Each structure stands twice: as C-alpha cells, then as structure tokens.
Chains A and B, each alone.
Chain A
Amino acid sequence: MNNNRQTISYMVPYALWIGLFVLLPLILMVTQSVQNIHHQWTFVNYTNFFSSGTYLKMTFNSIFYALLVTFLTLLISYPMAYILSKLKHSQFWLLLVILPTWVNLLLKAYAFIGLLAREGTVNQFLGFMGIAPQQLLFTDASFILVATYIEIPFMILPIYNSLAEINPSLTNAAHDLGANAWQTLRQVIIPLTLNGIKTGIQAVFIPTLSLFMLTRLIGGNRVITLGTAIEEHFMVTQNWGMGSTIGIILVLAMALTMYLTRDRKKKRRLR
C-alpha cells in the first residue's frame, strides 16, 4: 500500500478527471466570459452586464425570489424538523421526508402544471367555492410555491440533524432554571441549531438562483433567474460570452452565500 508507483497509477484516471472536468471547464468558462460573439478578447460582457438596467434588475429579482423562497422554506421546515426530532421513530419519518427527493424534479414540476392549470384541479376547487377561475400557472406566486415545495426536504434535513445533536440536558437545564418553552426555544434551541439553519440556507438559496426549468414550466418566463438567463444565452441566443459572464456572477453569488453562512465556530476551534 505504501508503494509510491502504485499510488500514482491509482490516481491517473482521477487526476485526469480533475484536470479535464473540474479545472478545464472553469477556466474555459472564464475565458469565454471575456470574449465577444466573434471570439475577440474584451471585457464588453462585464461592462454590458453592469451598465444594463435589464441585467441588474434580473439579478436583483433572481436574488429577491431566491431569498423569499429560502425564507418560506425555513418558516415551514423549522417547526417540521422540530416536531420530527421529538418523535419516537424519527428515522422512519425522516425517510418519508427524503422519499420525495428521489422523485424526478421534472415530474414534480409537471404535477403542478396539472394542479395549477386553467382547467386544473385547484381551479375546479376554487370554482366549487364560488371564486371564478384564476390564472394560477405562469405567475410569480406559482413559481414561489413550486420552488418552496421542491426545496422543503433540503431545509428540513440539516435542521433536523442539528436538532438531533442537541444534548437534552441543555434544554432540561433551561427548564430547571425557570425558562418557559418559548424562552428555551429562543435562547437555547435556535442558537444551537444555527449551523443547521445556515446549511439549509445554502442548500436552498443557491439551487433556487439557478432553477431554470421551473421558470419555464411554471413561471411562464415571468420570473427570470440567473439560471434561466444562462440557459437562454447558451441554448437560445448562442451568446456564450454573455452566458459565461452571468455564470461567473452566479459562481460569485454562490461563494458569497457560502462565506456569509459559513460555520464560524468550527473555524475557531481549529485555531
């Protein structure tokens, strides 16, 4: 096992993979972003991006919607994770949370087309209630609804994990010291699950920024996310330079999100 030559031969395909499929694509994306349609070197994509109201507004909207979806997901998931952590057979219930994530994303989106369509089930129900058929599909609200639906398990899981790690004697101590349930939650449980919340935010916010198929199928192109813009530039207008520039912006947004939600405590412990 300590044979050096053997280590190298193990690593060859893997190292090739890192070079060809991790580093090279990123380098190519950066070089594309500083080229115009005629493959001349220029920063025109970046200057266009930052001087154009449309692009900036699109970016702002995308971030706004992703934040909204993240917030709603958190609001629904935290109580859910809390209740799950109190259950007896919580592993089984957790499996039920995970199972929908094994269903293809496209199929879930497609289900919502049936639910929200003009002649769809929700509208039939609304008609039954006496509210005239509403335009539900292809609205901002439908995008937010479906995106929240899809992301909920990814928020529940990390929060559940951090709740499960809490030592029950801590909450007992809070009770003994006279804290009521609300105070215990606010001053003990939530601070202790902060890392789970941060992880959940990472796991929801960034994918929501890049959900392009949802904006097409459910949002009816009313909501344009950064992901949609990238897809548009690569597959429709074939302006790869601009697409790559938006891609770089998305990567930067991702890096910033990860920096803001990083696990501060762990770093300190390492030092």
Chain B
Amino acid sequence: MQKIKLGRLYLVLIFVLMYAPIIYLIIFAFNQGDQMAHFTGFSLRHFREMFADHHLIRILINTFIVAFLSSILATLIGTFGALGIYQIKRPGIKNMILSLNNILMVSPDVIIGASFLILFTLGGISLGFGSVLLAHIAFSIPIVVLLVLPKLNEMDTALIRAAQDLGANSQQVLNRVVLPYIWPGVIAGFFMAITYSLDDFAVTFFVTGNGFTTLSVEIYARARHGIDLSINALSAVMFLFSLILVVIYYVITNPKYNKSGLKLRRRSAMKQRGGIQ
C-alpha cells in the first residue's frame, strides 16, 4: 500500500513538472502587465495585440500554408513511393530503399538543415517560400511512407487477386481495393506530416532567407530579444490547435495505429525499429 502511494506521488510530481512550464506560459498570456514574472491582472490585451500584429498574422498564415501544401505533396509522393516499395520483389533492393527512406528520419535536424542549405544554394534555388516548402516536403515523405507501408503489408493479397479475376484493370484495383484499404494510413501520414511541419524549427531555420519566416523561426528571433507576451498569447492559441490536431488524429486512426504514431513522434525515435519491415 505504502509503495503504491509512493508511486502515485512520483507520477503526479513528474506530470506536474512536465505540464508546469506549458501552463505557466499560457497563464501569462492573460497577464495585464508586460512581464512573465508578476501576474498583475487578467486581460486579453496580448491576444488583441497578437491579432492586430499583421506581421505575425502573416507569418502564421505562411506557416499553415507551408504545412498544408507540404503535407499534401508529401502524402502524394510518399503514398506512391510506398506502393512502389510494396511491389518490389527482391528483398535486397527493398531493404536498401527502406534504409534510404529512413536516413532523413534518423539524421539530426541540424544535418538535414545544413545539407539542404548547401543543396539549395548550389542548385540555384533562392531561399524563401520555395526552399522551405521543398525542405518540408522532403522531410515529411519518409513519415508518410512509414505509416502507409504497414497498411499495405497487412493487406490480404487475395483481395487484389479476386479483383483481378473479376476483371478489374490495375487502375481499378488501385482505386477500388488498395487505396480504400490503406486510407487510414494515408490520413495518419498526412496529419503526422502537418504536425512535423508546424513543429519544425531547425531545418526551416537553415533554409529561410531574409524575407520569409515561419512561426518557430519568428519565436526564436523574438525569444532572443527576451520576453514578449504576444508570444505567450500565440502559444496559447498554438496549444489549443495542437490539442485539436491530437484529438482528430486519435479519432481518425484506430488504436493499433496510435502505437506506431507515438513511435513516429520524433524522427530520431525511429532508430529503435532498425529498419521498418
């Protein structure tokens, strides 16, 4: 009994520590004053200021445009990539492609950012919206592949053969049998790609030029100058948005998927699976 109590206490303590900074941040978004130390009274001032800040709103819109566009394109390329990998018969080639697929998952963000910076500069792609979009598509593709491929692997091939026996051509097999079956994986991949894109700082930081910024980069720039409570207001809005995304993600994907989703949460956490087959 004593032991269980001690365990509960530890659990509560760690959860409090984990959530304290986030709650602290959000509480001070409602502060009347300008500091994150003294709570002088409730006010929505910083929210008003945030929404009146055209520069910030534009960055917010930029961030979402990049997230949606990059996720859609990455989902398309990644899904067809997974379909291609699925059909490769020789295990050697398959494993090689899977390892290449995982390189961007396991590489530290700094390496991805720096190497993309070299790539874009030498390739003559000017830094800005285009380079950020390309970078986000690039690092989202393997996530989509890793969420779609297990769905393909668990699909019963008898389904495909039956469709072919009934006279379906390959286009029909794809549209009527395969795609509906892997759809939950595709959607999960899309959502995961959005959150990766919204979350990313390090890669974006390397490939943004002077004119274009996303939210993370802007927060970094402002945080270097010290406390600015409009960041708190922003973080409250972002937290709410993340919460909504989490709920949608968990509603759409079935429990079995959650587990792989959790594992995917961090690129580097992927190493654990040592090549996903």
- Partner-B contacts on A (CB < 8 A): 1-3, 6-8, 10-11, 13-14, 17-18, 20-26, 28-29, 32, 76, 79-80, 83-84, 86-87, 91, 93-115, 117, 119-121, 124, 149, 152-154, 157-158, 161, 199, 202-203, 206-207, 209-210, 212-213, 216-217, 226-227, 230-231, 234-235, 240, 243-244, 247, 250-251, 254, 258, 262-263, 266
Contact = CB atoms under 8 A, between A and B. Distances in A.
B115 A28 contact: yes
Contact of B37 (A91, A114, A149): A114
Nearest to B217: A106
A103 B19 CA distance: 11
B81 A11 contact: yes
B37 A121 contact: yes
A95 B36 CA distance: 28
A28 to B, nearest CB: 5
Q: Is the interface of B mostly helix, strand, loop or mixed?
A: helix
Nearest to B229: A114
Contacts of B220: 106, 213, 217
Among A108, A121, A240, find the residue whose CB has the most chain B CB atoms closer than 10 A: A121
A199 B269 contact: yes
Contacts, number: 263
Contacts of B201: 104-106, 213
Given A103-B242, A240-B118, A251 B107 contact: yes
Contacts of B122: 28
Contacts of A11: 80-81, 84
A261 B178 CA distance: 37
A121 B164 CA distance: 68
B239 A206 contact: no
Contact of A109 (B36, B103, B116, B223): B223
Contacts of A251: 107, 111
Given A22-B104, A98-B265, A110 B110 contact: no
A230 B114 contact: yes
Contacts of A1: 87, 160, 164, 170, 173-174, 178
Given A105-B199, A107-B231, A157-B265, 5 more contacts: A1-B160, A2-B170, A119-B37, A154-B268, A210-B109
